[in-house]
């Protein structure tokens, strides 16, 4: 039985269990008629939180102006190229050729007509006018492809429809204060969506909508499908993390699965949570994010106490030329990309060795070797690099080469993966970085990095390496074109491998840095994960891997010192390495430095009331730095 250190957490869980059966989640949409297409009006509506407009035909508005501000639109006529359309008993046959998910049926009291429209056209949303219509829809005995919605003008009206089973409430001219009052009054969780995210997954939206609409869809949602709250902070921005309520930022949207309390009980009794449990927890929004973070913190304290570790290392990116075309990568440069901010380069092996020696003399115990897949490199290049480093520095730990480099290196010299890994190990390779994983779900990789190794190939390299005694890290890059299912699939594959090999030393979530990424510049990705999603993925890594992987790392390169420091109370026990010359994140637009010194690490860790420890790569040697400071 897990014994939590803070009694209030136990009390909170007990209270949740008591109300478990009454939990339900209701979505809300901030929508209003569009009265103008001028910039001042649109900016004002955006500032108040409106996400969708009803566009009237008689106003002759410029739809491009509206869409350029990332609003989503509904109209009543096919003459307007809106995102969704209202249909009714009179006009519904005009819309037969459209994707029914984009149709909003304003139901009448004519039940026979309603049944025909619902069974033949299968609209995505049914907009009701009264409780009787809602009751009629609730009692239908066929498979429903729609959700019900109701315009509500007052808190009492909203509460009445919520208690009668409405799926979504549509709010006109509601302030944040009004929404918060409703949240506090209701026993239900209210979460905010956009029109498109309420009906379409990323892959569905990519196929259904124009490029411009797909971009608007991506810019207004988060990975979980909730409406994205605007903030100046994002991974790699260099800005301070947003103002939080404990750990969570978006407190206007609240969501918890009906299994939430039951899953928390599992965690209390040290029972391994399932993949379905993990999915349910990933969908959490609002105040319950804080509870997950607090529980992850307690689990971390039980395993690691107040110890927070880091390693002195140097990251050497030996080339930024690569013949793979990963959509997310702002680091890779083709040989003619001279118009980009960094010219193509390749560092020869002698220079790599010199930089490694320099790092060793600065106190580094590890050199991390990664780069693009240069068209001239073969497996012999990587072998020679390891050999030359070990000739000069036999005690330097070489943490090098992603599973992609291993696969490509083996292929280019006609060796199997296992044969090639044996050669590298004999030459002096110690461990593998877990990068090139990106997101281990081939549904997403098809669009993110289609020519890269598959999820199964990545997993195979890791299993073979672990079998040979070569341990590795495990990473996940998130917040681009991924979804919650892909997070679950990624975590699940890592845990299955770990149960077979026990070869992963740590899990390292890597938030997507979007600013210089090709896929974002082409309008095909989100703007990275939200802060709440960052908290969730680190906290749930601690919870999901609690009995299999001891170390969860936060990337200061992506999150900044304040972001990484905050996560030390949400399940994180490691801050990675000093790096010295990390180029990949900066090439994608990250604003954080290329090195964090030992003294800076000590300050970050100490300021969070934790104890700093210097570690080696394998977490087998530790030095307490509590009273150590270099001046």
Give all domains of the chain, ordered by start, each with its CATH number.
Answer: 25-219 (3.20.20.70), 302-624 (3.20.20.70)
Whole-angstrom distance, CA of residue 351 vs CA of residue 356: 9
Helix (H), strand (E) at residue 600? helix 598-607
Q: Considering the chain, what is the average pLDDT of its residues?
A: 90
pLDDT (tens digit per residue) in 486-520: 999 999 999 999 999 999 999 999 999 998 888 99
Higher-confidence position of 11 and 543: 543
Q: Would the pLDDT of 563 be above 60? A: yes
Task: Please report the pLDDT score of residue 579 as a whole number.
Answer: 86
The predicted model gives 259-264 an average pLDDT of 96
pLDDT at 581: 63
Q: What is the pTM of this model?
A: 0.92
Tens digit of each residue's pLDDT (9 = 90 or more) over 65-87: 999 999 999 999 999 999 999 99
Mean pLDDT in residue range 402-412: 95
- What does the pLDDT average to over 401-416? 96
Q: Model confidence at 630, in pLDDT bands (50, 70, 90)?
A: low
Of 337-341, 372-376, 442-446, 526-530, the least confident: 337-341
Residue 529 contacts residue 483 (beta carbons within 8 Å): no
- Residue 363 in this model has a pLDDT that exceeds 90: yes
Residue 402 has what pLDDT?
Answer: 94
Higher-scoring residue by pLDDT: 401, 144:
401
- Decide if pLDDT at 290 tops 70: yes
Query: What secondary structure letter does DSSP report for 58?
Result: G
Q: Please give the span between the terminal C-alpha atoms of the chain, in angstroms, as a whole number.
A: 46
Q: What is the pLDDT of residues 7-61, one digit of tens each?
A: 333 323 333 322 333 348 999 999 999 999 999 999 999 999 999 999 998 888 9
In this predicted structure, what is the pLDDT of residue 627?
A: 86
pLDDT digits over 433-474, tens only? 999 999 999 999 999 988 899 999 999 999 999 999 999 999
Q: Residue 314: pLDDT above 50?
A: yes
CA distance 274 to 512: 26
| Percentage of residues in the chain having pLDDT higher than 70 | 90
Neighbours of 297 (CB within 10 A): 23
Is residue 111 within 8 Å of 136, Cβ to Cβ?
A: yes
Flag whether pLDDT at 185 surpasses 90: no
Structure token digits, residue 69: 């501000």
**Alpha-carbon distance 599 to 513, whole Å?**
26
Model confidence at 608: pLDDT above 80: yes
**pLDDT tens figures, 119-148:** 999 999 999 999 999 999 999 988 889 999
Please name the residues in contact with 262: beta carbons below 8 A apart, sequence gap of 6 or more: 20
Q: Which residue from 270, 413, 435 is spatially nearest to 369, judged by alpha carbons? A: 435
What is the model's pLDDT at position 340? 46
pLDDT of residue 414: 98
Of 92, 82, 150, the residue nearest 122 (C-alpha) = 92
Helix (H, G, I), strand (E, B) or coil at 367: strand
Question: Tokens standing for 130?
Answer: 């009264």
Band (pLDDT 50/70/90 cuts) for residue 326 is: low
- Rounded average pLDDT over 233-254: 89
Across the range 368-395, mean pLDDT stands at: 92
């Amino acid at each position: 039985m897990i014994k939590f250190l803070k009694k209030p957490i136990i009390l909170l869980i007990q209270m949740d269990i008591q109300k478990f059966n009454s939990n339900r989640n209701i979505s809300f949409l901030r929508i209003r008629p569009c009265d103008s297409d001028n910039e001042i009006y649109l900016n004002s509506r955006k500032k108040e939180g409106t996400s969708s407009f009803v566009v009237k035909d008689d106003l002759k508005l410029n739809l491009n102006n509206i869409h350029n501000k990332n609003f989503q639109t509904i109209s009543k006529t096919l003459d307007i190229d809106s995102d969704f359309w209202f249909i009714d008993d009179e006009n519904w046959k005009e819309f037969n050729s459209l994707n029914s998910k984009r149709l909003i049926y304003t139901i009448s009291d004519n039940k026979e007509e309603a049944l025909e429209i619902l069974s033949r056209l299968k609209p995505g949303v049914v907009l009701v006018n009264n409780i009787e219509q809602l009751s009629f829809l609730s009692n239908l005995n066929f498979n429903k492809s729609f959700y019900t919605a109701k315009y509500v003008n007052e808190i009492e009206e909203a509460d009445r429809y919520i208690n009668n089973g409405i799926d979504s409430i549509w709010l006109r001219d509601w302030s944040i204060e009004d929404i918060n009052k409703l949240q506090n009054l209701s026993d239900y969780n209210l979460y905010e969506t956009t029109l498109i995210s309420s009906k379409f997954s990323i892959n569905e939206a990519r196929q259904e909508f124009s490029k411009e609409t797909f971009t608007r869809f991506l810019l207004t949602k988060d990975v979980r499908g909730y409406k994205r709250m605007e903030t100046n902070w994002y991974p790699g921005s260099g800005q301070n993390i947003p103002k939080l309520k404990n750990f969570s930022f978006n407190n206007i949207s609240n969501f918890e699965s009906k299994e939430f309390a039951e899953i928390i009980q599992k965690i209390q009794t040290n029972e391994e949570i399932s993949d379905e449990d993990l999915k349910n927890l990933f969908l959490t929004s609002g105040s319950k994010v804080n509870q997950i973070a607090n529980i992850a913190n307690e689990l971390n304290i039980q395993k690691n106490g107040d110890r927070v570790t880091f390693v002195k290392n140097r990251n050497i990116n030996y080339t930024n030329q690569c013949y793979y075309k990963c959509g997310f990568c702002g680091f890779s440069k083709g040989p003619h990309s001279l118009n980009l901010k960094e010219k193509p380069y390749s560092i020869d092996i002698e220079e790599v060795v010199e930089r490694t020696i320099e790092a060793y003399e600065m106190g580094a115990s590890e050199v991390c070797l990664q780069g693009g897949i240069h068209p001239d490199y073969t497996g012999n290049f990587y072998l020679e690099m390891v050999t030359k480093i070990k000739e000069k520095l036999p005690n330097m730990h070489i943490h090098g080469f992603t599973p992609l480099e291993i696969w490509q290196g083996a292929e280019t010299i006609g060796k199997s993966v296992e044969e090639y890994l044996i050669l590298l190990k004999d030459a002096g390779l110690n461990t593998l970085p877990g990068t090139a994983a990106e997101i281990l779900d081939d549904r997403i990789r098809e669009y993110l990095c289609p020519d890269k190794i598959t999820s199964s190939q990545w997993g195979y390299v890791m299993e073979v390496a672990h079998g040979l005694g070569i341990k590795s890290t495990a990473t996940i890059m998130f917040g681009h074109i991924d979804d919650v299912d892909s997070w679950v699939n990624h975590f699940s594959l890592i845990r299955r491998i770990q149960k077979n090999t026990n070869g992963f030393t740590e899990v390292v979530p890597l938030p997507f840095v979007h600013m210089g990424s090709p896929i974002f510049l082409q309008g095909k990705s989100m703007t990275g994960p939200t802060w709440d999603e960052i908290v969730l993925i680190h906290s749930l890594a601690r919870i999901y891997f609690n009995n299999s992987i001891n170390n969860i790392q936060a990337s200061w390169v992506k999150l900044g010192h304040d972001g990484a420091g905050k996560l030390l109370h949400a399940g994180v026990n490691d801050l990675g390495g000093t790096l010295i010359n990390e180029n990949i994140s900066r090439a994608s637009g990250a604003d954080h430095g290329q090195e964090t010194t030992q003294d800076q690490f000590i300050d970050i860790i100490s300021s969070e009331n934790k104890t700093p420890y210097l570690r080696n790569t394998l977490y087998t040697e530790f030095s307490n730095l509590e009273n150590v400071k270099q001046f």
